[in-house]
Amino acid sequence: MKNLLAIASFLSFSPVLLSSQVLAGTITQNGNQLLNNPNVSFPTISPTLIGDTLRFGTGNFLNETILKWDLFSANTLTPTSPTEVINITANLGRLESTSSRFPEDWDPTIYLWDGNNIVGGLFGDNRGGEFNSVEGTSNGSFNNTTFGPFLYAGNDFPNIGESANFNVEFELGQTETKVTLSGLGETLSFTTNNFDRTQSLSLLIARNHFYERYDINSITVTSNHVVPEPLTILGAGTAVAFGISFKRKVNQSQNKPNKS
C-alpha cells in the first residue's frame, strides 16, 4: 500500500509537471514526424513522403516558403527577457531542378519569422557553395528579401543526390539579433535590429527559385524554450488522466471501513 500511495502522490503532481506549454531542450523530427506535427504546415506546396523524407517538387513562385514550423507563441519572450538562442539544423537533400537551363540550381534558405520580419540565410550552390545573409519581410508564404554580406564556402557543397546539414543560430537579444550561418566547415555572422522577438516565432524553410526541388530529411531545433513534440503532449494527457483516476481509487480504498 505504501508503494501505491507513493505512486499516487507523484501522479497527483504530474499535471503540474506535464502541462507546461513550453519546454527547454532539443527536438529532432524526421519527415514523417514533421508531416504529422500540428505545429508544422506547408504554405505553398504539399510534399510527398518517401520513407522518412519529405520531397518537395516544382513550386509556384520565387522565394516561396515550403515549410513553416511554429515554435514560440507571442510573449514567450518579453522585451526584458535575457538573450534567447534558437539553433536550427536542417538536413536537406539536393535534387536536380526542373530548369533545362539551370539543372543544378539549388539555394535553400532558413529564416526565423516574427509574423512580419524574417532574418536568416541562404546556402547557395554558386562557386562550390555560397552563404548569404538575408533580411526582409514575409506573409508566411512569399518572402520579400534583401541580401547582405556573403562568403564562398569552398568546394564541399553537396552534389545532386547528396544530403548535408545546414545550420542557423539566432541569438535574440534585447536590442539586436545576431544570426550565424554554419555548414561545410565555414561560418558567416551578422547582426540586425529588424526583428521583434516578443511576437510568435516560426521557422521558415524556403527556396529561391520555383524550379528547385528539395528533400527535407530532418530538422533539429534547440532552445531554452521549445514547443513540445505532439507525442509528448499526448503522453502527458494520458498520464494525467491515469493519475487522477488512480488517485481517486486509492482514496476510495483508504476510506472503506475495515472488515473484522
Q: Where are the domains of the chain?
A: 25-230
Do 46 and 58 meet the contact criterion of CB atoms below 8 Å apart?
no
Nearest to 211 by CA among 53, 90, 61: 61
How far is residue 66 from each of residues 21, 100, 187, 205, 226, measured CA to CA in Å? 26, 22, 24, 6, 21
Residue with cell 510534399: 47
pLDDT value at position 6? 46
Q: Which of 112, 122, 185, 109 is nearest to 148 (CA)?
A: 122
Nearest 5°: the CA angle 148, 149, 155 is: 125
Per-position DSSP letters for 113-161, written without gaps between them: E-SSEEEEEEEE-GGG-EEEEEEEEE-SSBEEEEEEEEEE--S-PPPTT
- Among all chains, which residue has been given the C-alpha cell 507513493? 6
Q: Which residue type is seen at 224?
A: N
Q: Does CATH number 3.40.50.10160 belong to domain 25-230?
A: no
What tens-digit pLDDT sequence spans the chain (260 residues)? Answer: 544 444 444 443 333 333 223 457 899 999 999 999 999 999 999 999 999 999 999 999 999 999 999 999 999 999 999 999 999 999 999 999 999 999 999 999 999 999 999 999 999 887 678 899 999 999 999 999 998 888 887 667 899 999 999 999 999 999 999 999 998 888 999 999 999 999 999 999 999 999 999 999 999 999 987 655 554 444 444 444 444 454 454 455 555 555 44
CB count, 10 Å around CB of 193?
A: 9
Which pTM was predicted? 0.79
Using CA atoms, how far apart are residues 184 and 92, in angstroms rounded to an integer? Answer: 13
pLDDT at 93 (0 to 100): 98
> CB–CB of 250/6 below 8 Å?
no
